[in-house]
């Protein structure tokens, strides 16, 4: 198989702070420092792209010495946390910005879809915008002409095709824009979470189209998304970026699993140091944990049959004697399974423990996470924390039996029955 | 070593931090020519959609400006027009000046105006300034029709006050237009590139162009006693001066045109063009990080 993209030792530096101010005085100070033989006040080299490390450095490696190759016909999902460098990587690959060091070699025509409808002009009609947008994305006029009917049909806005797009609803706008993009025929297609728009039916259509592009037509697709389900369905290869560095490359399922376990597995969050404080002026969370309620050791593996206990130890700093607490239970892919909450007694200024038990034989063997939020009894917001804890449920019996996972976000145990020898009303 | 060279040739695009300063990648620009045309189309259609008079505005603008100039510079200030009827003198000046000023002003905001598109998709950035130049050229052609109409009126109905002295020198007109386009494009590209970092320059352009008009023989002939006594030969060093005077010489046979100054204007343009290419090339690669 031949290579489509070869990235070697790619780095991209961003200068924080001075970006955007763009004024003469900074440049003057820099020049002055240089003249006096001192260190450049705006040039302190940072080591890693870590937002949480705080603002000591003005310079951040958004991409740090990344090397990988992508073969022709692969569809590659790029995953990682916010700020891991995914978008920067796409921007460098699609030549919107240039690297600080290293190189990228590309074979074939590249089309990048970092946004749908780039360059759409509100005053132009749908038809005219197809030509404008198509040309911006690198299509030749005759190519667009040849596909015009197909594009209009895919978009489903035939009736309004000669109406200025400023009169379109946002849904129609996106449909038209994606229709143009879907009919690009580059050797390499770069896509950035553009599927986050449009209704569910249209999203499905788009995913189907992308799947077709990569598997049937043998094109190379690079796809960035937070939607791990989409990445798993669309991509056969995965690239996991962490703090600007390449953490892992390999088959999608393995990469997604590594990402999920590295980034999410935190069953017990303890307030250890002052800097890692959870809470605010209204309340302090001393500990939040997900425990196995049936086992002697609460930190045991949570089996599919175990009751799952959420335990939060906190101090209430408000004057109320009650707090409203709630959580959203979500899958690792950010889909909400359900939410639950209650109003609990919580006297001020003393440690109080809240617990909630999710019964066993209800959740699936999967990775879950919880968003937890606190309100006053009158429901004004006190504190919220996304993905405060996360945990994995195992199906130990099934795993030993070499059976595959049962589908679904939950797996409740339901009553099945059979009654032999009775004729039904239907027959 | 040779195997290495072979494998390098197979790549279509190599993205690296550094690349040659003067490389405009014109072949790539050529492959995007369809985009150029559709952008020109967009510039026209978008400008006059949902207006009552539409493209008629192309003619109203120079006519009103000419009238204003006739009142202020002609009637009030009584600046001589070198024997040319005022409407003809001012209209020719206005049409040519508008072409230059629009090229300059519109290219000077290319990066700022197109940051949204440039941040999302790659195409040769030079396409946008080129589309501005072409759009303005079409506008110039339309406005020239207006000028020709006024000229014909004077030739046929005002023969007593005006005799046409068109000379073969008029064939230089395309050269003058090209020179002005390049000058406007280069200055615009330089300013546009610098504005990505220093927004201050955007303010400078707005009134700088106004001031520049007064330093250019648009509303007065260069070779008149009042101008000479006031500014000496100073205004001749404006690279735009030989262009305006050259056009006048071609149309009316009166302009002050010397090849020496024309050569100087060409030299200035070429130097500015090289500076523009270097600056534009440097900025286009990373401007999205600073804009």
Task: Test A110 with B49 for CB contact under 8 angstroms.
Answer: no
Which residues of chain A does B196 touch, with a Cβ-Cβ cutoff of 8 Å? Answer: 22
Distance from CA of B123 to the nearest CA of A (A): 7
Look at residue A238 and tell me whether its pLDDT is greater than 90: yes
Rounded to whole angstroms, the Cα distance separating B146 from B58 reads: 9
The answer to whether B20 faces chain A, any CB pair under 8 Å, is no
**Does residue A191 or residue A269 have the better pLDDT?**
A191
Contact criterion met (CB below 8 Å) for A5 and A104: yes
Task: Test A106 with B122 for CB contact under 8 angstroms.
Answer: no
The answer to whether B29 faces chain A, any CB pair under 8 Å, is no
Rounded to whole angstroms, the Cα distance separating A330 from B41 reads: 50
Range in A31-45, A110-124, A242-256, B30-44 with the lowest mean pLDDT: A31-45
pLDDT of res. A48: 45
A32 falls in which pLDDT band (50, 70, 90)? low
Distance from chain centroid for Cα A156? 29
- Rounded to an integer, the average pLDDT of A79-96 is 84
Q: Assign a CATH topology to domain A3-15+65-262.
A: Rossmann fold (3.40.50)
Cα distances (Å, whole numbers) of residue B287 to A86, B106, B114, B119: 19, 18, 11, 9
Look at residue A74 and tell me whether its pLDDT is greater than 50: yes
pLDDT of res. B98: 92
Tokens of B174: 């395309």
Which of A90, A124, A135 is best to mutate for the B interface (most B CBs within 10 A)? A135
Tokens of B275: 């500076």
Rg value, chain B, Cα: 22
- For residue A112, which of A137, A88, A84 has the smallest C-alpha distance? A137
**Chain B residues 232-261 within an 8 A CB cutoff of chain A:** none
pLDDT of res. A21: 42
A268-400 and A3-15+65-262 share a CATH fold: no
Look at residue A333 and tell me whether its pLDDT is greater than 50: yes
Q: Are strands A75-79 and A237-242 parallel, antiparallel or unpaired?
A: parallel
pLDDT of res. B6: 44
Look at residue A50 and tell me whether its pLDDT is greater than 60: no
- Kindly list the domain boundaries of chain A, sorted by start residue: 3-15+65-262, 268-400
Cα distances (Å, whole numbers) of residue B201 to A171, B16, B54, B119: 39, 30, 32, 22
Nearest CB neighbour to A103, from listed B14, B122, B290: B14
- For residue A382, which of A340, A343, A334, A329 has the smallest C-alpha distance? A343
pLDDT of res. B37: 93
Task: Test B123 with A119 for CB contact under 8 angstroms.
Answer: no
Low-confidence ranges of chain B (pLDDT < 70): 1-9, 19-22, 24, 291
pLDDT digits (tens, 9 = 90+) for A135-181: 998 888 999 999 999 999 988 888 899 999 889 888 888 888 888 88
Largest CA distance in chain A: 99
The helix (run of H) or strand (run of E) holding residue B147 is helix B127-157
Distance from CA of B202 to the nearest CA of A (A): 13
The answer to whether A166 faces chain B, any CB pair under 8 Å, is no
Q: Which residue of B has its CA nearest to A124?
A: B46
Rounded to whole angstroms, the Cα distance separating A298 from B141 reads: 83
The residues pairing with A222 across neighbouring beta strands, listed in sequence order, are: A76, A190
Rounded to whole angstroms, the Cα distance separating B145 from B134 reads: 17
Task: Test A107 with B11 for CB contact under 8 angstroms.
Answer: yes
- For residue A250, which of A425, A71, A405, A113 has the smallest C-alpha distance? A71
Rounded to whole angstroms, the Cα distance separating A39 from B10 reads: 43
Task: Test A24 with B13 for CB contact under 8 angstroms.
Answer: no
Q: Are strands A302-303 and A381-394 parallel, antiparallel or unpaired?
A: parallel
Contact criterion met (CB below 8 Å) for B243 and B177: no
Rounded to whole angstroms, the Cα distance separating A69 from A196 reads: 27
The answer to whether B121 faces chain A, any CB pair under 8 Å, is yes
A36 falls in which pLDDT band (50, 70, 90)? low
Q: Looking at A202-349, which runs of residues are DSSP E strands?
A: 220-224, 237-242, 245-251, 268-270, 278-279, 283-292, 302-303, 308-316, 322-331, 336-345
The helix (run of H) or strand (run of E) holding residue A390 is strand A381-394
Give the dihedral sign, CA B250/B254/B256/B259: positive
Secondary structure of residue A5 in the 3-state scheme: strand
- For residue B289, which of A127, A10, A100, A29 has the smallest C-alpha distance? A100
pLDDT mean across residues, chain A: 80
Secondary structure of residue A228 in the 3-state scheme: helix
- Rounded to an integer, the average pLDDT of A35-64 is 56
Range in A14-28, A379-393, B242-256 with the lowest mean pLDDT: A14-28
Cα distances (Å, whole numbers) of residue A132 to A118, A148, A231, B113: 9, 12, 30, 17
Task: Write b or e for each residue in A36-66: b if 16 or more Cβ atoms lie within 10 A of its Cβ, otherwise e.
Answer: eeeeeebeeebeebbeeeeeebbbbbbbbeb
Which residues of chain B does A189 touch, with a Cβ-Cβ cutoff of 8 Å? Answer: none
- Residue A214: CB partners within 8 Å, gap ≥ 6? A73, A74, A75, A220, A221, A234, A235
Rounded to whole angstroms, the Cα distance separating B197 from B199 reads: 6
A402 falls in which pLDDT band (50, 70, 90)? very low
A68 falls in which pLDDT band (50, 70, 90)? very high
The answer to whether B11 faces chain A, any CB pair under 8 Å, is yes
pLDDT of res. A54: 44
Q: Quick check: pTM over 0.90?
A: no
Q: Which residue of B has its CA nearest to A106?
A: B13
The answer to whether B21 faces chain A, any CB pair under 8 Å, is no
**Does residue A265 or residue B92 have the better pLDDT?**
B92
- Angle at A113 (CA atoms; ends A111, A115), nearest 5 degrees: 150
Distance from CA of B26 to the nearest CA of A (A): 15
Identify the CATH class of A268-400: mainly beta
Which residues of chain B does A99 touch, with a Cβ-Cβ cutoff of 8 Å? Answer: 15-17
Task: Write b or e for each residue in A332-353: b if 16 or more Cβ atoms lie within 10 A of its Cβ, otherwise e.
Answer: bbeeebeeeeeebebeeeeebe
Q: Which residue of B has its CA nearest to A164?
A: B49
Q: Which residue of A has its CA nearest to B13?
A: A106
Task: Test B122 with A94 for CB contact under 8 angstroms.
Answer: yes
Range in A17-21, A72-76, A215-219, A253-257 with the lowest mean pLDDT: A17-21
The answer to whether A127 faces chain B, any CB pair under 8 Å, is no
pLDDT of res. A34: 60
């Amino acid at each position: 198989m031949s290579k489509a993209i070869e990235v070697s030792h790619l780095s991209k530096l961003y200068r924080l702070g001075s970006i955007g101010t763009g004024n003469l005085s900074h440049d003057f100070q820099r020049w002055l420092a240089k003249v006096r033989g001192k260190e450049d006040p705006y040039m302190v080299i940072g080591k890693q792209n870590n937002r949480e490390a705080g603002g000591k450095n003005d310079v951040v490696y958004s991409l740090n010495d990344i090397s990988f190759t992508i073969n022709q016909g692969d569809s590659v999902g790029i995953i990682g946390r916010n700020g891991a460098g995914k978008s920067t990587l796409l921007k460098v690959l699609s030549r919107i910005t240039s690297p600080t060091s290293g190189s990228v070699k590309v074979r074939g025509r590249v089309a990048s879809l970092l946004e749908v409808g780039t360059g759409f002009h509100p005053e132009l009609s749908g038809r005219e915008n197809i030509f404008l947008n198509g040309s911006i994305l690198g299509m030749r006029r005759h190519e667009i002409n040849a596909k015009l009917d197909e594009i209009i049909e895919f978009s489903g806005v035939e009736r309004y095709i000669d109406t200025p797009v400023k009169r379109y609803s946002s849904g129609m706008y996106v449909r038209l824009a994606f229709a143009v993009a879907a009919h690009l025929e580059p050797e390499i297609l770069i896509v950035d979470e553009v599927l986050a728009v449009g209704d569910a039916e249209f999203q499905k259509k788009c995913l189907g189209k992308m799947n077709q592009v990569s598997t049937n037509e043998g094109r190379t697709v690079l796809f960035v998304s937070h939607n791990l389900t989409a990445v798993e369905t669309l991509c056969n290869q995965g690239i996991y970026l962490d703090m600007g560095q390449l953490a892992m490359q390999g088959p999608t399922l393995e990469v997604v699993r590594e990402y999920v376990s590295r980034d999410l597995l935190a069953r017990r969050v303890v307030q250890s140091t002052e800097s890692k404080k959870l809470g605010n002026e209204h309340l302090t969370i001393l500990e939040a944990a997900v425990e196995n309620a049936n086992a002697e050791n609460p930190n045991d593996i949570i089996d599919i049959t175990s009751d799952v206990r959420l335990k939060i130890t906190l101090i209430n700093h408000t004057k109320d004697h009650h707090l409203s607490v709630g959580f959203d239970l979500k899958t690792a892919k950010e889909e909400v399974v359900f939410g639950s909450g209650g109003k609990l007694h919580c006297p001020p200024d003393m440690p109080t423990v809240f617990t909630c038990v999710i019964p066993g034989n209800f959740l699936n063997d999967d990775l879950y996470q919880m968003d937890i939020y606190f309100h006053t009894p009158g429901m004004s917001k006190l504190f919220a924390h996304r993905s405060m804890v996360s945990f994995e449920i195992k199906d130990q019996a099934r795993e030993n039996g070499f059976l595959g996972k049962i589908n679904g976000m939950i797996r409740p145990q339901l009553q099945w029955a059979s009654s032999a020898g009775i004729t039904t009303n239907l027959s | 070593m040779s195997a290495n060279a072979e494998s390098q040739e197979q790549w279509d695009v190599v993205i690296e931090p550094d690349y040659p300063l003067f490389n405009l990648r014109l072949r790539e620009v050529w492959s995007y020519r369809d985009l150029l045309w559709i952008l020109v189309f967009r510039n026209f259609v978008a400008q006059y959609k949902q207006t009552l008079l539409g493209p008629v505005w192309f003619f109203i603008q120079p006519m009103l400006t000419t009238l204003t100039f006739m009142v202020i510079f002609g009637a009030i200030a009584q600046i001589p027009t070198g024997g040319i009827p005022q409407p003809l003198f001012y209209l020719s000046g206005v049409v040519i000046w508008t072409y230059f000023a629009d090229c300059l002003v519109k290219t000077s905001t290319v990066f700022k105006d197109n940051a949204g598109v440039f941040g999302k998709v790659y195409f040769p950035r030079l396409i946008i300034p080129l589309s501005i130049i072409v759009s303005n050229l079409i506008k110039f052609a339309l406005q020239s029709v207006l000028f020709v109409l006024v000229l014909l009126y004077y030739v046929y109905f005002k023969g007593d006050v005006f005799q046409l002295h068109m000379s073969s020198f008029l064939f230089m007109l395309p050269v003058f237009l090209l020179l002005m386009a390049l000058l406007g494009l280069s200055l615009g590209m330089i300013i546009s590139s610098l504005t990505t970092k220093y927004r201050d320059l955007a303010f400078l352009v707005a009134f700088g162009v106004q001031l520049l008009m007064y330093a250019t023989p648009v509303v007065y002939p260069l070779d008149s006693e009042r101008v000479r006594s006031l500014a000496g030969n100073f205004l001749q060093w404006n690279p735009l001066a030989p262009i305006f005077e050259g056009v006048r010489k071609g149309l009316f046979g009166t302009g002050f045109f010397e090849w020496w100054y024309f050569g100087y204007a060409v030299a200035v343009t070429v130097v500015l063009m090289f500076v523009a290419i270097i600056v534009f090339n440097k900025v286009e690669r990373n401007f999205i990080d600073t804009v």
